[in-house]
Amino acid sequence: MIELHLTILAITALIGLIASYLAITEKDLLKAVGYSAVQAIAYAIAFYLLMAPDIVLAYVAIAVGIYSALLIFIIGKTERYEVM
């Protein structure tokens, strides 16, 4: 049973890692916000598996909702594409 938990934990952590790498390297900033939200969802599942439901409740609302919205507001005030 614990092996199943750890396997799901490893998979979510990997999805989070891949999503954060894509978010950092993405030049379209709106897509980068999307990747960052995917990373947040993966980490929320990881926190749930690590038995920290208090963190999950705050993390889902902040990292998926508020943080993405703040970044989208700020992208709306500048340019959509990152210039090299």
Partner 1 sequence: MKRLTGLLTILIITLGVAIYLAQNIIPPENLHPLGEYYLENSYFGEHSAKSPEVVTSILWDYRGVDTLFETAVFFLAIIGSLTIFRLNREQSEEAKQGEPKPQLPEPVVVVTKLTVAMILAVSASIALHGQLTPGGGFQGGSALAVAPLLVIAAYTKYALEKNGLDKTRAIIIRSIGLLGIALTALTPLLVSGYIMQNQPIFPGEALGVPLGGSLVLYNLFEYLAVGAGFTAVFLLLSIPEEKFKKFLGVRR
Chain residues binding partner 1 by CB under 8 A are 10, 14, 17-18, 21-22, 25, 53-54, 56-58, 61-62, 65-66, 69-70, 73-74, 76-77
Distance CA 9, CA 42 (A): 9
Distance CA 34, CA 50 (A): 24
Cβ-based nearer residue to partner 1, 33 or 56? 56
Instruction: State the minimum distance, in angstroms, from the CB of residue 58 to partner 1.
Output: 4
Instruction: State the minimum distance, in angstroms, from the CB of residue 54 to partner 1.
Output: 5
Inter-residue contact 44 to 59 (CB < 8 Å): yes
Instruction: State the minimum distance, in angstroms, from the CB of residue 21 to partner 1.
Output: 5
Cβ-based nearer residue to partner 1, 50 or 70? 70
For residue 4, CA distances in Å to 1, 45, 70 come to: 5, 14, 36
